[in-house]
């Protein structure tokens, strides 16, 4: 969990606090903290009170977006830190089209994971 850089903060269209994530997923906040600790979600400190926030695009229909966990694992294996992962996931790519985070939400995770794997080469 890191404090977010202003440039990357601006890339992410919306954020949710851990209690918001817990409510959306129908689980306890302690379980959300565990998901962050396990690397299944990325949480960063932002705002005046430096509360932990997760990109809202990581949650859809009461679940963690399909393909996100695998993509985060691939990026970590490529030695990306949390900020670098957020930057990669939320930077528009004309060839995708859109951002990798949008592609995951639209069930185009195979292409996103393929690109994440290619980063290691």
Stated pTM of the model: 0.91
Task: Say yes or no to pLDDT of 107 above 90.
Answer: yes
Q: For the chain, what is the mean pLDDT?
A: 93
CB neighbourhood size of 106 (10 A) = 12
Tokens 């949390």, residue? 82
Residues 6+ away with beta carbon under 8 Å from 97: none
Strand runs (DSSP E) across the chain, as ranges? 2-3, 15-17, 44-46, 51-55, 59-60, 63-64
pLDDT for res 3: 62
- Mind listing the pLDDT tens digit for each residue in 54-102? 999 999 999 999 999 999 999 999 999 999 999 999 999 999 999 999 9
């Amino acid at each position: 969990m890191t404090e977010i850089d202003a440039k990357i903060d601006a890339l992410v269209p919306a954020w949710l606090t851990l209690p918001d994530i817990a409510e959306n997923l129908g689980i306890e906040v302690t379980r959300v903290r565990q998901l962050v600790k396990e690397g299944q979600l990325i949480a960063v400190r932002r705002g005046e009170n430096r509360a932990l926030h997760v990109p809202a695009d990581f949650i859809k229909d009461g679940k963690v977006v399909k393909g996100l966990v695998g993509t985060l694992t691939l990026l970590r294996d490529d030695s990306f830190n949390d900020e670098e992962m957020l930057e990669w996931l939320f930077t528009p790519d004309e060839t995708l089209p859109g951002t990798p985070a949008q592609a995951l939400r639209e069930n185009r995770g195979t292409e996103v994971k393929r690109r994440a794997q290619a980063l290691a080469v």
